[in-house]
């Protein structure tokens, strides 16, 4: 193991940065923390909010963002739509129109329901408001970054956060976050940002290819290699592979007689499909069957969706052949 203050570590972070920037489509530094995405969810409201946040909720993870906002004592209002529905630009603009908010939170890809909200259009709608240039748009892209194209600079997002263990296909333990100049300037005006996740402190160290606290060096080595593999595949190819696996998953589910959870299907996630369990299969028993064959699917997330729905991930390094193997095994289980 190298030491985190050794030049070798700065070289490693320096090698990683431009590659992470390509994945985030940004020229800004991408903050790195020894954490999971939830850490940067908390950081995002602690660093950028002085008056009030609009939390857009359409599932369990966007609901978590609301809880985090409240747990940090930030004033908020909630825009909630039915779980399974996307958050739409006009809804956001309407709620922000009274000018009393300084930030808005949205989950790009609601992993609990398999719904992807149109972030680019949401940011466009926010920027058209009279105070749109002052509103910090916080995007949780935990289950979309590296699986769905999100262009941080071109779309004018302010805070874009993700974790290592989803579409990056790495072990958990690293979190990444791009922060706009607008959000950095705002952070400078916000008291009590905390220490571990202070955007200004993280950015100051990152300018020297360092982190304020000890960094998980072994995970950074894995990240360095994985970014090489991702860029060798080509990001557009990677996104297309996710879409093709999504479409195949829909085709399989509909052919079996299942219904899809995402409504309307135009917003169905490219990285995870949530399926109504309208055929009432025993999901724990199915998973036990799959587990014996080294595969696993996810039950519906949270009390609301458990057994009512189940989820099939098609992200990261999974290939179409993996999906075919999974569907053949589920078919075999259902034929029993
Ligand atoms: C959309 C979304 N947001 C946030 C989280 C929380 O991320 P983490 O477990 O990396 O803290 C998850 C985890 O599954 C997620 O899917």
Task: For the chain, give every domain's residue range.
Answer: 7-233, 235-334
Question: What is the pLDDT, as a whole number, of residue 190?
Answer: 98
Sheet (strand 272-276) strand order: 259-260, 272-276, 309-313, 298-299
Residue 263 has pLDDT above 90, yes or no: no
Whose structure tokens read 């949205």? 106
Calculate mean pLDDT across residues 261-281.
95
Calculate mean pLDDT across residues 146-167.
98
Q: 261, 250 in Cβ contact below 8 A?
A: no
Calculate mean pLDDT across residues 150-168.
98
Q: For residues 12 and 208, give the distance between their C-alpha atoms in angstroms, rounded to a whole number.
A: 12
Omega before 264 cis (within 30°)? yes
Share of the chain above pLDDT 90, in %: 98
Centroid of ligand 1 to alpha carbon of 66 (angstroms): 13
- Spell out the alpha helix ranges (H) of the chain: 7-24, 37-48, 60-71, 89-96, 119-127, 152-155, 181-187, 199-206, 217-233, 235-256, 283-292, 302-305, 320-334
Band (302; pLDDT cuts 50, 70, 90) = confident
Q: For residues 216 and 175, give the distance between their C-alpha atoms in angstroms, rounded to a whole number.
A: 11
Which CA distances in Å does 170 have to 140, 216, 240? 18, 13, 20
Pocket test for ligand 1, best of 68, 163, 315 (most atoms within 8 A of CB): 163
Round the average pLDDT of the chain to a whole number and report it: 97
Domain 7-233: top CATH class: alpha beta
Atom number, ligand 1, closest to the C-alpha of residue 140: 3
CATH topology of domain 235-334: 3.90.1150
204-233 pLDDT, tens digit each: 999 999 999 999 999 999 999 999 999 999
Calculate mean pLDDT across residues 148-161.
98
Of the candidates 180, 114, 104, 106, the one whose C-alpha atom is nearest the C-alpha of residue 147 is: 114
Atom number, ligand 1, closest to the C-alpha of residue 107: 1
Q: For residues 56 and 265, give the distance between their C-alpha atoms in angstroms, rounded to a whole number.
A: 20
Centroid of ligand 1 to alpha carbon of 151 (angstroms): 20
Atom number, ligand 1, closest to the C-alpha of residue 41: 4
Residue 117 has pLDDT above 90, yes or no: yes
Pocket test for ligand 1, best of 140, 159, 197 (most atoms within 8 A of CB): 140
CA 191 to chain centroid: 27
Determine which helix (DSSP H) or strand (DSSP E) holds 75, and give its type and residue range.
strand 75-80
Q: For residues 169 and 315, give the distance between their C-alpha atoms in angstroms, rounded to a whole number.
A: 8
Centroid of ligand 1 to alpha carbon of 38 (angstroms): 6
Ligand 1 — pocket residues by CB below 6 A? 36-38, 61, 107, 109, 111, 140, 142-143, 163
Centroid of ligand 1 to alpha carbon of 22 (angstroms): 22
Q: For residues 299 and 63, give the distance between their C-alpha atoms in angstroms, rounded to a whole number.
A: 18
Band (264; pLDDT cuts 50, 70, 90) = confident
What pTM, to 2 d.p., does this model score? 0.98
Domains 7-233 and 235-334 share a fold: no
Residue 303 has pLDDT above 90, yes or no: no
Question: What is the pLDDT, as a whole number, of residue 304?
Answer: 85
Calculate mean pLDDT across residues 29-34.
98
Centroid of ligand 1 to alpha carbon of 165 (angstroms): 9
Centroid of ligand 1 to alpha carbon of 176 (angstroms): 12
Question: What is the pLDDT, as a whole number, of residue 266?
Answer: 95
79-89 pLDDT, tens digit each: 999 999 999 99
Question: Rounded to the nearest 10 degrees, how much is the dihedral formed by the CA atoms of 24, 26, 27, 29?
Answer: -40
Which CA distances in Å does 166 have to 33, 148, 234? 16, 12, 18
- What is the rounded radius of gyration, in angstroms, for the C-alpha atoms of the chain? 20
DSSP helix/strand/coil, 119: helix
Centroid of ligand 1 to alpha carbon of 105 (angstroms): 14
């Amino acid at each position: 193991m190298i030491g985190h203050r050794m030049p070798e570590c700065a070289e490693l972070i320096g090698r990683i940065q431009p590659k992470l920037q390509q994945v985030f489509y940004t020229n800004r530094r991408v903050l790195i923390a020894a954490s999971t995405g939830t850490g940067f969810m908390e950081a995002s409201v602690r660093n950028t909010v002085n008056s009030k946040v609009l939390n857009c909720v359409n599932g369990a993870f966007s609901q978590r963002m609301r809880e985090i906002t409240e747990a940090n004592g930030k004033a908020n209002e909630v825009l909630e739509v039915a779980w399974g529905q996307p958050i739409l630009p006009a809804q956001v603009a309407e709620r922000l129109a009274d000018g009393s908010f300084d930030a808005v939170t949205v989950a790009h890809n609601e992993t609990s329901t398999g719904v992807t909200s149109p972030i680019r259009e949401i940011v466009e709608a926010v920027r058209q408001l009279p105070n749109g240039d002052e509103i910090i748009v916080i995007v949780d892209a935990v289950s979309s970054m590296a699986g769905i194209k999100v262009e941080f600079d071109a779309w004018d997002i302010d805070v874009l956060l993700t974790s290592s263990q989803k579409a990056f296909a790495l072990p958990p333990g690293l979190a990444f976050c791009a922060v706009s100049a607008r959000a950095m300037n705002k952070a400078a005006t916000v008291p009590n940002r905390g220490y571990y996740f202070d955007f200004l402190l993280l950015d100051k160290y990152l300018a020297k290819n360092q982190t304020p606290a000890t960094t998980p060096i072994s995970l950074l080595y894995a990240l360095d290699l994985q970014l090489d593999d991702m860029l060798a595949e080509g990001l557009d190819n990677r996104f297309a592979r996710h879409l093709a696996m999504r479409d195949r998953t829909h085709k399989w589910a509909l052919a079996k007689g299942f219904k899809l959870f995402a409504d309307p299907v135009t917003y169905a996630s490219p990285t995870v499909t949530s399926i109504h369990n309208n055929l009432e299969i025993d999901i724990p028993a199915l998973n036990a069957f799959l587990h014996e064959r080294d595969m696993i699917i996810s039950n519906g997330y949270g009390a609301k969706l458990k057994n009512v729905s189940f989820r099939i991930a098609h992200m990261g390094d999974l290939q179409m052949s993996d999906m075919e193997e999974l569907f053949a095994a589920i078919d075999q289980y259902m034929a029993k």
